[in-house]
Amino acid sequence: MSATLPTSHDAHAPAAHADAHDSHEGEFEYLDSLNPKPSPWPFLLGIITLLVPVGGLILMWGGPELSLFGWIVLVLGGALSLVPTFGWFHSVVVDKWEGHFGVVAQGNDLALGTKLFFLSEIAIFGSIFAYYFVMRHHSALNPEVGWPLPGSPLIDQMLPAIGLLILLTSSFTCEVAHKALMKGKRGMCKDWMLITMALGLVFLFLQGYEWGFLIRNEGFTVGSNWFGTVFYVLTGFHGLHVITGLIMLMIVYGRLEIGHFTAKRHFSMMAASWYWHLVDVVWVFVFTFIYCFQGGGH
């Protein structure tokens, strides 16, 4: 039998297969290049922030001899958490400017991530409120305890009401700043951002003054009873969110100064605005259920 000579198509088949393989490899390399580089900042932030609840637990259950150590751990955790927080923000900004996944995909991913983050924050506040409602219901039904709890002062509503007004005003000024940026008015945006941050600082000052008054004059602390624990955890956790919101606004202000944002591309400004509105809404619930429905004095 005579051997069958290879046709022209058969001769080019290995070369075509190799070209297709190289094409697929190039496509995979291109898609892989679109992925942002792995970041260590989320992991580091999660580890460092563990110091905050650990310090709080030491303060509540460690006794007077460990109070100083508890404060050191608490403050150290809060201060050190700023390092991975800023590092994480920086990595997100760099990823955006390097163009990973394109502008539309970036916006969708960041918006989804921000909304999921807000859901987790709402869940945390909701769990604290749920504990408060359940414990208050059981206390009211127990004639040996009753409501309000023994040792709980009638907390004045004037300062938290002023704080509520300040936060609602700051929510308005933050929205004005956002709208100004959408219109390309960067100078006006920065002015309203400064007003928003100043109002946030005033709110924190009022909350600190209220805590100092209750602790010094009323002897009402986190260890007085379960209501004291809920009160300081809830208002303190909210105050921590106000501080976080201020940090976000300061970062946005700095990027405005650098010139990162445009009228159509400013997701960081929008996310910071959303977060600030969330903080304000949470305080409406805190003021309503914690301050307005105390139910009496000692």
Judged by average pLDDT, the poorest of 64-73, 109-118, 173-182, 207-216 is 109-118
C-alpha span between 234 and 155 (Å, rounded):
15
C-alpha span between 272 and 250 (Å, rounded):
10
Q: Helix, strand or coil for residue 277?
A: helix
pLDDT in tens, 211-241: 999 999 999 988 888 899 899 989 998 998 9
pLDDT exceeds cutoff 50 at 105: yes
DSSP letters for 183-226 = TT-HHHHHHHHHHHHHHHHHHHHHHHHHHHHHHHHS---TTSSH
Long-range contacts of 60-69 (CB under 8 A, 24+ apart): 60/222, 60/223, 60/229
Q: Mean pLDDT score of the chain, rounded to an integer?
A: 82
**Spans of all domains in the chain:** 1-100, 103-298
Nearest to 291 by CA among 239, 231, 214: 231
List the end-to-end C-alpha distance of the chain, in Å, as a whole number: 111
pLDDT in tens, 16-59: 444 444 444 444 444 445 556 677 888 888 888 888 888 878 87
Tokens representing residue 42 in the block: 């989320």
C-alpha span between 234 and 270 (Å, rounded):
26
C-alpha span between 15 and 19 (Å, rounded):
6
**Alpha helix ranges (H) inside 62-157:** 67-80, 82-98, 102-141
C-alpha span between 236 and 152 (Å, rounded):
18
pLDDT at 281: 95
pLDDT exceeds cutoff 50 at 1: no
Q: How many CB atoms lie within 10 A of CB 20?
A: 10
pLDDT at 170: 97
Q: Which superfamily is assigned to 103-298 in CATH?
A: Cytochrome c oxidase, subunit III, four-helix bundle (1.20.120.80)
Alpha carbon dihedral 293, 294, 297, 298, in 10-degree steps, equals 150
Tokens representing residue 240 in the block: 């921590």
pLDDT at 100: 53
pLDDT at 21: 46
